[in-house]
Amino acid sequence: MRNFKTIIVTGGAGFIGSNFIRHIFEKSGYAGNVVNLDKLTYAGNLMSVGDIEKQYGGKRYFFERADICDFDSVTAVLKKYDADCVVHFAAESHVDRSILGPAEFVRTNLNGTFTMLEAVRSMWKDRKDVLFHHISTDEVFGSLGDQGYFFEDTPYDPRSPYSASKAGSDHLVMAYYHTYGLPVTLSNCSNNYGPYHFPEKLIPLMILNLFEEKPLPVYGDGMNVRDWLFVADHASAIYRIITDGNIGDKYNVGGENERPNIEVVNLLCEVAADKMGRPKDYYKKLITYVKDRPGHDRRYAINCDKLKKELGWKQSVTFDQGLALTVEWYMNNKEWVESVRSGEYRKWIDTNYDAR
């Protein structure tokens, strides 16, 4: 088992990064430091790590506002904290935004990952007691028909500007392993859901619209299939991989929980009705079929047997449990929701942290 002294988490103010930081402090037994390196784009919110800052800030948790595309800033942070591990989440993550504006995806996901790799290569040189872990997506494998699964060796076939930029970043990470001997691990994960999820993505968007009885926009025929994983389970998988995974290996992470979108939306309507004391089908009248996403991948399904067999990982919650926890979280965290929606937190950040 590898032990690290200081882990830099890029994108730690985002959805999965903040859940990962919480997992390592509260669940993993990790005894070292964590540096959250985040540019705080529209998707980054320090409220998502407010509890961690309060408990560990200045002792074992540190925040650095920096852009992963800025070599000097990233190198300065690596040096300042003498980091021996990077867990790289920072990215532009929303497929619809990548269709409207691909340039930022190429800049952040491709150039940003390249810059991170160059920074660790220049700082770490030939050290072998270090690790660069790259977070990627199942979307790099393309779109499945009714049958079959994505395995670690499934050929890449990305279809959206988002998945193409993630695919390119994966190739760069593996190239640095093969060419320069940089110790790396890489994980490709399916759709996450849970607390702190930015409400542009399907599940939190539907939950917040449900609360306000607004239309629930379902793309196309609603039969596109995604494999849903509770975010805390993704966090535990990543910790397993960075401590025990084979250097140079890729690991698939999935929920083994395939659902057509319309089934997810129907389930959310039922969970919300239960929590709000409404009749079971009360919210279903809000479901509205809308124009499909261009190039909408039909089905994703992950085979994660390697992670389960080699590293003994497994999911901890069922989809019903995870959805109930998620709906409750959004009911009980109105302040976070309002800050994300109003942009108030951005004003606070801009007066409290200067961009480097």
The catalytic site residues sit at 138-139, 162
Q: Which of residues 289-308 bind ligand TDX (CB under 6 A)?
A: 293
Tokens (6 digits) for 91: 């990215």
Tell me the number of residues near ligand NAD by CB under 6 A.
29
- Give whichever of 57 and 295 is closer to ligand TDX, judged by the CB atom: 295
x/- track of binding to ligand TDX for residues 122-161 (CB under 6 A) = ---------------x-x----------------------
Minimum Å distance from CB 327 to ligand NAD? 18
In whole angstroms, give the CA distance from residue 44 to residue 42: 6
What are the strands, taking DSSP E only, across 5-84?
Answer: 6-10, 33-38, 61-65
Q: 115-145: buried (b, 16+ CB within 10 Å) or exposed (e) per residue? A: bbbebbbebbeeeeebbbbbbbbbbbbbbbe
In sequence order, the 6+-apart residues with CB closer than 8 A to the CB of 251 are: 152, 185, 186, 187, 188, 237, 241, 245, 304, 306, 307, 311
Q: Give the residue, chosen from 94, 278, 284, 356, that forms a contact with ligand TDX under the rule CB under 6 A.
A: 94
Task: Note whether 234 binds ligand TDX by CB under 6 A.
Answer: no
Q: Give the three-state DSSP class for 65.
A: strand
Task: Note whether 74 binds ligand NAD by CB under 6 A.
Answer: no
Name the segment binding ligand NAD (CB under 6 A); options: 64-72, 276-284, 306-314, 319-327: 64-72
- Give whichever of 293 and 346 is closer to ligand TDX, judged by the CB atom: 293
In whole angstroms, give the CA distance from residue 81 to residue 6: 7
Q: Which of residues 158-217 bind ligand NAD (CB under 6 A)?
A: 166, 189, 191-192, 198
- Give whichever of 101 and 215 is closer to ligand NAD, judged by the CB atom: 101
Task: Note whether 224 binds ligand TDX by CB under 6 A.
Answer: yes
Residue 17 binds which of ligand TDX, ligand NAD, none (CB < 5-8 A, kind-dependent)? ligand NAD
Name the segment binding ligand TDX (CB under 6 A); options: 75-83, 118-126, 217-225, 241-249: 217-225
x/- track of binding to ligand TDX for residues 187-216 (CB under 6 A) = ----x---------xx--x-----------
Task: Note whether 89 binds ligand NAD by CB under 6 A.
Answer: yes
Q: Residue 116: which H helix or E strand, with range?
A: helix 112-124
Cα(first)–Cα(last) distance of the chain, in Å?
36
Q: Residue 267: which H helix or E strand, with range?
A: helix 261-276
Residue 261 binds which of ligand NAD, ligand TDX, none (CB < 5-8 A, kind-dependent)? ligand TDX
- Give whichever of 237 and 327 is closer to ligand NAD, judged by the CB atom: 237
Quick one: which of 301, 304, 89, 317 has its CA closest to 194? 317
In sequence order, the 6+-apart residues with CB closer than 8 A to the CB of 39 are: 65, 66, 67, 68, 90, 355
Q: Are 112 and 74 in contact (CB under 8 A)?
A: no
Minimum Å distance from CB 277 to ligand TDX? 26
Residues that bind ligand NAD (CB under 6 A): 10-11, 13-17, 38-41, 43-44, 67-69, 89-91, 93, 108, 112, 135, 137, 166, 189, 191-192, 198
